[in-house]
Amino acid sequence: MIQSFDSSSSPFHPSHASTTTDGTVYPPPDGHPSDQPPNKKRRLADPADSNDVQNGRFASVVVANKHISGLHTIVKRESEQLSSTVDQVKMWITLTMPKIEDGDNFGVQIQEEVLSELHRAQESAYNLRDTARQDHITRAKICSKLIKYPNLEDYMLALKEHDEKQVYFSRQHIIDIRNMYASLMDLIQKNITKIRVPKANNNRALY
């Protein structure tokens, strides 16, 4: 996946950032009431009709960036896979840990260090999994300003810059996940002997 990032056909290619942002403020759907609130005197005179759908106010619409939503889906899937894999490795190492006793505990210390690194990687995966929610909240704030002040071009530019940043961050998130896999694999392979057998059997024959 990462090797194809530089290809224009890749969804992570930077060229998609400038072509997928739709900052148009669309009017309410046809058949809905106007954007103006209902008359106050009428609302007070007819309390039974105050909750009627006809009296509702439909705000203007700024559509979401479907391309970036697709990138979030990929990042979420890879983050969940990383978290699941790390969880299995953590369980395996935990089950290989010997009982607590005196003696040579160097191998156990290695196991604990590896578990700490696995825990940090899993926390990073959780944070990457949450980036979609954070993006939607931040983007919604910009869009609300764009709806309120459609004549200010800076809000449109801010929305485009935000989407470009999300494309770049999505690329980096995939690379970060790859790097976590590589660093964890390297750490485990270099210490696999102590992880499998944390305490050597030093019992000698008595005869």
Position 18 confidence tier, pLDDT thresholds 50, 70, 90: low
Asked if residue 22 has pLDDT above 70, the reply is: yes
Asked if residue 42 has pLDDT above 90, the reply is: no
What is the model's pTM?
A: 0.76
Sketch out the chain's domains with CATH numbers.
Answer: 2-25+64-196 (1.20.120.180), 27-60 (no CATH)
Position 6 confidence tier, pLDDT thresholds 50, 70, 90: low
Supply the pLDDT for residue 207: 32
Supply the pLDDT for residue 39: 52
Q: What is the distance between the alpha carbons of residues 180 and 66, in angstroms, rounded to a whole number? A: 28
Supply the pLDDT for residue 101: 73
pLDDT in tens, 48-106: 554 554 444 556 888 999 999 999 999 999 999 999 999 999 999 999 988 877 666 78
- 99-103, 117-121, 133-137, 190-194: least confidently modelled range: 99-103
Q: What is the 3-state secondary structure (H, E, C) of the chain?
A: CHHHCCCCCCCCCHHHCCCCCCCCCECCCCCCCCCCCCCHHHHHHCHHHCCCHHHCCCCCECCCCHHHHHHHHHHHHHHHHHHHHHHHHHHHHHHHCCCCCCCCCHHHHHHHHHHHHHHHHHHHHHHHHCHHHHHHHHHHHHHHHHHHCCCCHHHHHHHHHHHHHHHHHHHHHHHHHHHHHHHHHHHHHHCHHHHHCCCCCCCCCCC
Position 121 confidence tier, pLDDT thresholds 50, 70, 90: very high
Position 192 confidence tier, pLDDT thresholds 50, 70, 90: very high
Q: What is the distance between the alpha carbons of residues 20 and 160, in angstroms, rounded to a whole number? A: 9
The percent of residues in the chain predicted with pLDDT above 70, rounded, is 73
Q: What is the distance between the alpha carbons of residues 120 and 123, in angstroms, rounded to a whole number? A: 5
Q: What is the distance between the alpha carbons of residues 126 and 133, in angstroms, rounded to a whole number? A: 12
- 14-18, 63-67, 177-181, 192-196: least confidently modelled range: 14-18
